[in-house]
Structure 1
Amino acid sequence: MKAGAPSMRISGGSALVLAGHGSLFSPESALPIYQHAASLRNTGMFAAVYECFWKEEPSYRNVLYEVEEERVYLVPDFLSHGYFTREILPREFGLTGPVTRRNSSEIRYCEPPGRHPRMAEAIMAQAEKALAQTDCRDVALLLVGHGTDRNENSAETAWEQAERIRRSGRFAECGVAFLEQEPSVLGWRDLVGPRDLVVVPFFLSEGKHSYTDIPRRMGLACHPRDPGFRNPQTMEGGRRVYYAGTAGMAPTLDQVILAQVEAFDEAHPLV
């Protein structure tokens, strides 16, 4: 499915609401949601597209007062399920299940885009962009997420996407590492073979984790905001390390969001 191509399964009179986290301190946190929303408006597949946030305005609680459409697709613009998608969003939107009828509106609560099989394509696209003309089949891909011991869903999603990348055969291998749980990114050398490597941060937006924390813990000489940053960087033994943009900033994320909306309609047919 290409962005801009009409879908027979999405009602043209529906609204799409993208719910992100947002931040009081970093405007970069909301940037992907605004980019995804702008791209999806251009498809003409929805009567309206709205953004909302937990830490910024417009808020989760107030956004539905702006929505005039009777059918609303609510997509949590996250890479995995967690506290916000399981607890905060259902509470703030008054959800009672996958389909919630609220006054004259019907809210259809979709899966996060990071859970969809097509997310693997977005990750690989970011890796290929960083590699430029280098043959992917000679390079290992390392997917680096945040991870947390408090919620296994974050790690589970990263492992699922890594397995899809392995099955694609487009890279020599694919490993997974995390900032806050095992396997730690500190031990990245033991997670993939001694070959050239492309690193893809498994985050929705660019920020401190992708710009600073991952490169520092890997021992890279420069991080992407250093004036002298260049791809690739060279490590011991002549290994070349390429550093990609975050998975959530892939240009195809709008298509992954649409795929989740269509997947919801397949699981919960319109009546």
Structure 2
Amino acid sequence: MSIETPVIETLGQHTCCGGSLRVLKHNSDVLGVPATFSIFLPKEALAGQKVPVIHVLAGLTGNHETFLIKSNAIRFAAEHGIALVAPDTSPRDTGTPGEDDAYDLGSGAGFYVDATAEPWSRHYRMESYIHRKLPALTEKLFPLDGDRRGIMGHSMGGMGTLVQALRYPEFWKTVSAFAPICHPSVIPWGQKAFDAYFGGDPSKWRDCDPTLLLRNGHKHPATILVDQGLQDQYLSDLRVDALVEAAKESGQSLEMRHHDAYDHSYWFIQTFIADHLNHHAKGLKA
């Protein structure tokens, strides 16, 4: 993953849990606009030691700060000596018509896909940004070990996490998700986004739907950890049942944990985030 080092603007820097939380901005050629991301570097990385890294993907209406601020992941990442990289949930201020008209399409709702239909295809290429550009950039700038790279996400970010892991299993060593959108091609959220981003071509949806990817032979070599609250207000739209069934049919190792009384919020994530960091640490440090 060779990459020229672009000009990086530091928007913020804070000491946290013995390490450093930084908010950085760079010109992204794949998105065609400046992009902002956050990164947590544990004390081991600050000392020059190469450390494992987990990319964390937030859900609808989130941004590069949402997961790191609300999940309490940094505390446990610091304990394990693991870095965290948090991208934005979409390109910003692209001038694309309609990108700020609705919470579930456009700004804050990139769905981590590469759009193929105009006008979205000019900038909305989050799949390539997450898979190729951001890891290459951060691993060039900081002592991050690309051979020990995991991915984790929530809701729309959980969907992006599962798609990345199933499409690029050699790239992401460990995988976990909170309340992911598991079968977007059959629910209104996904159908609206896919219709816009792919120009009404359903044949392109299967590469961005975790359930369909499993049904079509995509697998990840590691166990995928998923936590789901049973009082989640979006439970019927997430379709975790479809993911469980597809995993069973395909032979994908999946640890699906259901939790009474928990909803879709970051309070739910905070409760189980330590388990997810343990899951990643075990796989990344094996």
More strand by share: 2
Q: Give the structure-1-normalised TM-score.
A: 0.32
Tell me which structure has the larger Cα radius of gyration: 1
Q: Which is bigger in relative contact order (C-alpha 8 A, separation at least 6)?
A: 1
